[in-house]
Amino acid sequence: MKANLTTKDRQARQNSRRAFLGSLSLALPASLLLTSACNRGGGQGDKFVIGFSQANKAEPWRTWMDDTLMKEAGKQPQIEIAYADAQQDNSKQVADVENFLRQRVDLLIISPNEAKPLTGIVKRVYESGIPVIILDRSIEGDSYTTFIGANNREIGKAAGEYAAQLLGGKGSVVEIKGLPGSTPAIDRSAGFREAVAAHSGIKIVADPVADWLRDKGREQAEAALRANEKIDLVYGHNDPMAMGAYLAATAMNRAEGLKIIGIDGLPGTEGGAKAVLDGKLDATFLYPNCGKEAIETAVKILNKERASKTITPPTARITKENAAQFINE
Amino acid sequence: MTLLGERRIGRVKLSQLQAFLGLIVVFILACVFSPVRRGELIFLDPGNLTDILRQVSEKGIIAVGMTFVILAGGIDLSVGSVLAFAASLSAVMLMRGGYGTPETLLAVLAAGLLIGAVNALVITKGRIQSFIVTLAMMSGARGLARLVSGGSGVEIGYGAGGAPQSFSVLGGKLGQFVPVPALIFLATVAIAWVGLNKTRFGRYVHAVGSNETASRLSGVGVDWVKFGVFSICSLLAALAGIIHCAQLEQGNPNDGVTYELDAIAAVVIGGTSLSGGTGTVVGTLVGTLIIGIINNILGLNNVDANVQLLLKGIIIVGAVLLQRRG
């Protein structure tokens, strides 16, 4: 009985020591991280603080948007950016914007993950008197100051017109489509088809879906090339799928004379601009990232100047001649 | 037998205390590191505190259900998919089926219950570990969610031809401050506390988790207990899915990914042992709040989202260290 008690005593002492160690292990990293957090934390003093809520950092196009926006913001000494990455999660993005609202940022820039789930919170921010700039994907209604987004239909149309020019108004085309039901996929298809419809010699012989992905683009292009003896041009709704088509055509010895065009024109060594410079793609059409326009508009609004409700940054045709200047954007 | 019982109760109290200690530590740290606006801590703003409650409510409700399963010695990995399925089914019934709010709630909760019953049936009759069965259901329920919704989010619109306005109450606020999802979460905790502490079923759940064979030998209907806990868990995941749909005005079949891990983390941080038998639902409430406060304070300080994930990992390990015995 006595032995039993001492065991229990020892156990109790051990327990309390463990508890102490445990709470230390919990508190120490937390305080360390928070300290580092506060050093980088939101703005104080006379600077304007802009809360920037990004839908995700996983897509290269969005990373590029972040880079451009941060670079432009860096040129403006009076503004400071507080950044939140929603990691493709609507619930997280709502919480991120709620945090900005609590911080009473001077302006909100948001690129919504999806329209509907973010509409309520963006409306609340706007109605509380904080100006809101929306990038790329809009929300429902008009509770925002400015929407900045490229017009995918126009970009598709530009691609279609250039395709017709490359083909001399005659030939067989494969269109590789993005994720079904997504607005860019619908618009990039509609614009392209509108443009090539003016040329009766151009036939779209296949229009497979590759969900924006390079590997699926390659698979679908292989199937289309196998099914059709003569293909003159492949149009991918984005550069990765167009690159997939290039890989397929090269592997099948069908690259000779085949024209391939894409959309996006991302900078960097992995981007579409480099693929055009290397001759893998014949052309790509810039999907502008809105970062520069966002900061320009934010400065206008913060200076109490009038900003337009909608801004549509233009596309650009990237071919071998001008590709170099887009790589270092 | 009595001695064993006493020690078990002592252990429960100790782990609960430790969880509270963690909450207090995190709360104080949050106050210390809170950004200040006009001389006031933003963290302590009543609006911010209710924001936290609203933000944790869906995962908190799931964590309450998970507490039942883990207490009984099991695990349920399918809750995130069940949330997505429930959210999608809600949106489809309201928008495409033209059903009213009560019918939708009943049907979706019943569907959740059914999924839990299927989990339990395979676990008890097929004698397969819950980890594997619910892993399969994680895939199955995700498939169901995509099937009913057609693959992408179904949006809720109110008014003529849309969803009845009554549904929006579930995602809204009472008065200025009180978010309805938070109220539902707290009510769930209260009901679960009664169920686990004041009923025979609750005692059996603890008993099965502590020692399944001994429970079986002393006449506890072990299979029925498991049937109960997995049904409760899926039912609550479906409830969270309905709230998810109302809050985001969308039933998205791709939502809820990794929610099961967040729920398990909340349960474990709250002092419930993954080996079953010991733990409390109040601990789970505390664990949920700890995660919510940490996310909030890091967000208010604009810390990188990836650092938040890293910190959550460290805290789970810290909490388990807190519970470990000699």
Chain B residues lying within 8 Å of A113, measured CB to CB: none
Structure confidence at residue B3 (pLDDT): 38
User: What digits encode the pLDDT tens for the residues A288-309?
Assistant: 999 999 999 999 999 999 999 9
Q: Break chain B into its structural domains and give their ranges.
A: 60-323
Asked if A84 and B305 come within 8 Å (Cβ–Cβ), the reply is yes
Q: How far apart are CA B13 and CA B21, in angstroms?
A: 12
Average pLDDT by consecutive 10-residue portion of chain A (329 residues)? 47 50 54 48 69 91 94 96 93 96 96 93 96 94 96 97 96 94 91 96 94 90 92 96 94 93 91 94 96 96 95 96 90
CATH 3.40.50.2300 maps onto chain A at 48-150+289-312, 152-287
B72 in reach of chain A (CB within 8 A): no
B249 in reach of chain A (CB within 8 A): yes
Query: Does the pLDDT at position B209 exceed 60?
Result: yes
Chain A residues lying within 8 Å of B324, measured CB to CB: 18, 22
Q: Give the helix/strand (H/E) hosting B263.
A: helix B259-269
User: What digits encode the pLDDT tens for the residues B126-159?
Assistant: 999 999 999 999 999 999 999 999 888 898 988 8
pTM, to two decimals = 0.81
Contact call for residues B130 and B230 (beta carbons, < 8 A): yes
Per-residue pLDDT band at B213 (split at 50, 70, 90) = very high
Asked if B250 and A116 come within 8 Å (Cβ–Cβ), the reply is yes
Asked if B298 and A40 come within 8 Å (Cβ–Cβ), the reply is no
Across-strand partners of A263?
A: A285
Asked if B302 and A83 come within 8 Å (Cβ–Cβ), the reply is yes
Longest dimension (CA), chain B: 65
CA distance B121 to chain A (A): 33
B14 in reach of chain A (CB within 8 A): yes
Q: Which residues contact A325 (CB under 8 A, 6 or more apart)?
A: none
B58 in reach of chain A (CB within 8 A): yes
Amino acid (one-letter) located at B197 = N
Burial of A151 (0-12, 13-18, 19+ CB in 10 A): middle
B115 CB-side CA count, 13 A: 35
Give the other-Cβ count within 10 Å of B251's Cβ.
31
Give the other-Cβ count within 10 Å of B50's Cβ.
16
CA–centroid distance for B24 within its chain: 22
Give the other-Cβ count within 10 Å of A209's Cβ.
17
Asked if B303 and A120 come within 8 Å (Cβ–Cβ), the reply is no
| Token pair recorded at residue A208 | 């497979």
Q: Which of residues 252-281 of B touch A (CB under 8 A)?
A: 252, 255
Asked if A30 and B14 come within 8 Å (Cβ–Cβ), the reply is no
Percentage of chain B beyond pLDDT 90 is: 73
Contact call for residues A313 and A293 (beta carbons, < 8 A): yes
Asked if B304 and A85 come within 8 Å (Cβ–Cβ), the reply is yes
Asked if B26 and A30 come within 8 Å (Cβ–Cβ), the reply is yes
Could you give the 3-state DSSP secondary structure of residue A144? Answer: coil
Chain B residues lying within 8 Å of A25, measured CB to CB: 317-318, 321-322
Q: Which of B312, B291, B302 is nearest to B55 (CA)?
A: B291
Give the mean pLDDT of B172-182: 90
Nearest to A82 among B25, B296, B302 (CB): B302
Nearest to A26 among B25, B304, B310 (CB): B25
Structure confidence at residue B15 (pLDDT): 57
Which CATH class for the A152-287 domain? alpha beta
Asked if B51 and A104 come within 8 Å (Cβ–Cβ), the reply is no
Which residue of chain A is at minimal alpha-carbon distance from B47? A102
Q: How far apart are CA B158 and CA B63, in angstroms?
A: 30
Query: What's the whole-number average pLDDT of chain B?
Result: 90
Q: Compute the count of residue pairs across chains A and B with CB atoms less than 8 Å apart.
A: 150
| C-alpha triplet B25, B29, B35: angle, nearest 5° | 155
CA–centroid distance for B85 within its chain: 15
Nearest to A22 among B301, B304, B322 (CB): B322
Structure confidence at residue A48 (pLDDT): 96
Asked if B26 and A84 come within 8 Å (Cβ–Cβ), the reply is no
Give the other-Cβ count within 10 Å of A54's Cβ.
25
Whole-Å CA distances, B242 to A124, B102, B140, B164, B263: 23, 12, 19, 14, 17
Between B65 and A9, the higher pLDDT residue: B65
Mutate to test the interface with B, among A4, A97, A102 (most CBs of B within 10 A): A102
B304 in reach of chain A (CB within 8 A): yes
Which residue of chain B is at minimal alpha-carbon distance from A38? B301
Mutate to test the interface with A, among B55, B146, B248, B295 (most CBs of A within 10 A): B248
CA distance A158 to chain B (A): 29
Which residue of chain A is at minimal alpha-carbon distance from B15? A19
Structure confidence at residue A9 (pLDDT): 52
Burial of B255 (0-12, 13-18, 19+ CB in 10 A): buried
State the fold for domain A48-150+289-312: Rossmann fold (3.40.50)
Could you give the 3-state DSSP secondary structure of residue A284? Answer: strand
Chain A residues lying within 8 Å of B25, measured CB to CB: 23, 26-27, 30
CA distance B276 to chain A (A): 19
DSSP string of B198-210, one letter each residue? SSHHHHHHHHHHH
Query: Does the pLDDT at position B260 exceed 60?
Result: yes
Q: Which residues contact B309 (CB under 8 A, 6 or more apart)?
A: none
Mutate to test the interface with B, among A1, A14, A26 (most CBs of B within 10 A): A26
Q: What is the ipTM metric for this complex?
A: 0.78
Structure confidence at residue B162 (pLDDT): 87
Whole-Å CA distances, A73 to A50, A110, A292: 10, 15, 9
B55 in reach of chain A (CB within 8 A): yes
